[in-house]
Amino acid sequence: MKTKYVFETVADFYVRGSRSQVMRLSVRRVVMLVLWVSGVCTAVWSLQRVFTCHGWLTPALRVSVVVKDTNQTQYHYSQDSPVVFVGGVPRSGTTLMRAMLDAHPDIRCGEETRVIPRLLALRHGWRRQGQERSDLEEEGITQEMLDSATLAFLLEVIARHGDPAPLLCNKDPFTLKSSVYLSNIFPNSKFILMVRDGRASVHSMISRRVTIAGFDLSSYRDCLTKWNHAIEAMLFQCTVVGAKRCLTVHYENLVLQPRTTMVKVLQFLDVPWHEGVLHHEEAIGQPGGVSLSRSERSTDQVIKPVNLQALTRWVGHIPPDLLADMQNIAPMLRRLGYNPDANPPDYGQPDPEVIHNTEKVVKGHFKPPSSLKRLSQEIVSKKTNERRNIMNAPMHFQSDT
């Protein structure tokens, strides 16, 4: 009992004593603590304001598109979705490539959107260093905002203009002039650059009268010069993007050895092999297959299986005075592996499958079905008038308030 009392007194003393000690220091301590905590809090708060002011902590608006297919399955697409962009100078086999990819059940490219290259051109105008760019910054329109707006537009068009598929694809030939930009806004995108002997491309656009902005179809020389310039720019972009994300495919290899080439392409895209890509002509108009546009200039060709018809049509059609000068007019020919002085160069040996296809084509087995006959003038005027009638329907008029 005595010990207990002693213990109690000792404990009491300690508590009292330490309490008074604590008491002596506590007011100061508490004041210091409060000041310190509030200082830290305000600093953090102001830092956060500064950061958000400069947009470093702003949660990026998530761009996402949801599409339903015929079975009501939902597909969610975002900027992180894998997308493949197919392009090149027009008349280089871009449509053939996208049609073969479309024949794969997991891939959907669809027709040329036409609007995507125009939006990209507008976007580049706002990027160029100069008065406009600084004016935009002054108005609070940052390059990041323009990127997410462009991305949103592109994603909506790509996702909605055809049936959904695990791997979306877009083919607008000139988009490959913007591969680097696209690779930045779509972090999981890949690119396929179609390359072809410039003489063949140019002969195709001139003989078929395919209007391409900037190309003077009355002059082989001008077209070859423009071809050279365009493919040089696209190849440069492709190199910057890097081999892991940008693959160049030679049209000649595609038509001569389609199996080997497509194996490489599907491996590059990380997509399992599917035999259907070698028989795209069977998937035309099929659900999950190849959708064609009656307005596009290559439609009447891609309804046919892969064949050799267009390989060397250009031979003998290039004006003789250009032949000797070819290396100077189009130096990219040699860079891409085409001999500028050979008419034609030896592109390689065809596979038996392709020879067989070409024979069938020559025999006339693949005529365009009536549903895909090139939109004749008649149909265009009929559709134009239909639209005019819709547009002229009376608007709702409201009297002055």
Give the separation between CA 215 and CA 198, rounded to whole angstroms: 13
Angle at 181 between CA 175 and CA 183, to 5 degrees: 90
The residue among 15 and 57 lying less far from other proteins, judged by its C-beta, is 57
CB of 325 to other proteins, least distance (A): 37
- Give the Cα separation of 63 and 332 in Å (integer): 39
- Distance, in Å, from the CA atom of 195 to the CA atom of 298, rounded to the nearest integer, reads 16
112 carries an active-site annotation:
yes
Q: Is 320 in the site for other proteins (CB under 8 A)?
A: no
What residue type is 56 in one-letter code? W
Q: Is 27 in the site for other proteins (CB under 8 A)?
A: no
Angle between helices 352-362 and 258-268 (to 10 degrees): 110
Nearest distance, CB of residue 302 and other proteins, angstroms: 15
- Asked if 69 touches other proteins (CB under 8 A), the answer is no
The pair of three-digit structure tokens given for residue 302, joined into one six-digit string: 């891609």
Binding mask 79-118 for other proteins (x = CB under 8 A): -------------------------------xxxxxx--x
- In terms of Cα–Cα distance, which of 198, 225, 200 is closest to 214? 225
The label of the residue with tokens 């082989």 reads 220
Q: Which of residues 283-312 bind other proteins (CB under 8 A)?
A: 291, 293-296
Cα atoms found within 13 Å of the Cα of residue 29, Cβ hemisphere only: 6
* Least Å from the CB of residue 157 to other proteins: 5
Residue 66 near other proteins by CB under 8 A = no
d(CA 67, CA 158): 11
- Nearest distance, CB of residue 185 and other proteins, angstroms: 12
Nearer to other proteins, 301 or 357 (CB): 301
- Pick the binder of other proteins from 9, 58, 188, 309 (CB under 8 A): 58
Q: What is the DSSP letter of 60?
A: P
For binding to other proteins (CB under 8 A), which residues are involved?
32, 35-36, 39-40, 42-43, 46-50, 52-55, 57-59, 61, 63, 110-115, 118-119, 122, 126, 132, 135-136, 138-142, 145-146, 148-150, 152-157, 160-162, 291, 293-296, 375, 380, 383-384, 387-388, 395-398, 400-401
